[in-house]
Structure 1
């Protein structure tokens, strides 16, 4: 009897491959592992696995997988591109026939409608409709669940209000709207405008200049084109972009946002956001509580005003600012500039030439890189310097604040030792 051998590791030439070993490492539940073992004994790409989960209505597992793939540690352009391709492929294969200006309506179940003429208008209210259009300026509407709609012409206008819709467009300038739950929407043409208000939507775009908006819970949005604009207001959104100059905004709770393209602008206003960027020149802002922000590209600009932020940067030339309390900030790149105004901040820098300022009370700053400059405006601060480092700390003499400067290598100040001011004297902690 022939037995299939499970694939344990991903092929080196396909970083988007999902294997049983990988989901085990990510902590998949036993039921999820059993499903994956049955459906993908040899493994599968991220997009293929997501299609399978949606086909079996395992939306919770789909959210889990996207959460892992879009994690700060894992975000990868190949995952995003794989997802976009798979969503677009879902709606391929609908036969079309030719007629300009056609007006087609159907209210029965399992209808198959095809049109290749210019300016057609197609409407369907029955269950399980299959609608295909290859002509320009098509207007397509579906109100029942399980619809599959495909359009390859330019300027298409597609609307769906039913559950479980699958919508694909490869023409330029498409306008796609969906209000039903569980929608899968894919676009490969430039200038697409895509909107979804239903829960558990999956939206993928590979064309340039896409505008994507989602207000439903659990949205999964991927874009690999240049200049994408993505907005989400629903909770639990998972957003990934691999194209340059992306503009991404989220106001829902628990958003997961990943970007691997250069010059991304990312903003989040709700608490529990997790934001990761690996491209150069990223601009990231968060105002919600408990944000987790990571950047590995050069020249990142990161700002956070919510409490409990966790911010990490490994690229050179980072500029990081935090105004919330209990911030945790880490930087390993050269020439970092870090500022914090909240209380009880914990700041670490291992790159050379860092410039760090803190105005909140109780800050603790550790610099292991050379030639760091640290300035405290808040009280009860403590600092550890690297070689050539200098710091200015504040203490209160009972009448006013006073500064005391310390310099590594002078007056017994040693590198790698934490110092603070007590009663006007420098002491080891």
Structure 2
């Protein structure tokens, strides 16, 4: 590890795995990336990227230096000295953990696991997954964790679109259930990131990641609830937060929105609530935050319906609407759990005709919950097109969008991100929600 001679396998080349593979390769390691999707493998081996914040020039550079190769053949992973699992861990339709990808990936490794290999789970999950699920499966190979191979957990801390932090500059928590595995994992990450943070067990490391995202979920729920209260009082919650954050201690700003998106905050807290039931512990605080955040799209739709009626004399059921921004956060092309998808669905259920615009999402991708929306293309961004809508709803505040054109030509604009005020735009047709 210290000499960068080890080959590192990364299983799952999505929004977590590909940035991680890039960062490790840029530190001098050779990377063997594995993904079940042959199209992703072909794209990467051509030197092209399918994730916006990882440019194709970066992939081509790694390919030219022979530091990175993608494969869809599981047996190739036997070459790897360390294998990092970066597979999705969503919720099922009952809002229970779906760790089927973790299980299937672990079973795949049973067939190729060899003595001396390090396996690290990076997927966000409930405390106990590494020890209770991954370890028993891998030990079906006849090898013992901590003795014949090494097993650890190190939660991903990706923040797509954040130009101030990237994988290599974010401290990495590392947990394992035996000293040998912990040392092996530390040796790897010490060579990749600016700081490793070892903890006593894999469960502790798993709990760290859950705690980070529960903290964010609860605080976002708080400001979402304050937004509803202050709006009824005629108080601008954004102004309140901007003033409150001038206090140099005891306050941390969080901002409201149309709902939660991304693979972490809307999902991870429910992993903990599910696991807590095993210990007969109620997680009322966490579940209440989930209820508040889940209710925000409905609040936004009602605000839009009232504004359409009062400002334009148009019923929601007969309106033509534009949702601005499909990605779950600004300046990325990631639509996982995006509240914009739920907003489109709810508006259409109320009878509205809905289009969307997103410069980073040319076509709505296929998703498990919103497959019926897949394939729709983004609308054009012209004065004529914008004027044809009864109203626009800003769901995501991408920096590259010309909001001035929207404010000038769209009869009504509902802003859930406060981006219009930040751009210095004002007018009777511009409202916050």
TM bucket normalised to smaller:
under 0.3
Between Structure 1 and Structure 2, the one with more strand by share is 1
Higher relative contact order at CA 8 Å, sep ≥6: structure 1 or structure 2?
2
The structure richer in helix per residue is 2
Between structure 1 and structure 2, the one with the greater Rg is: 1
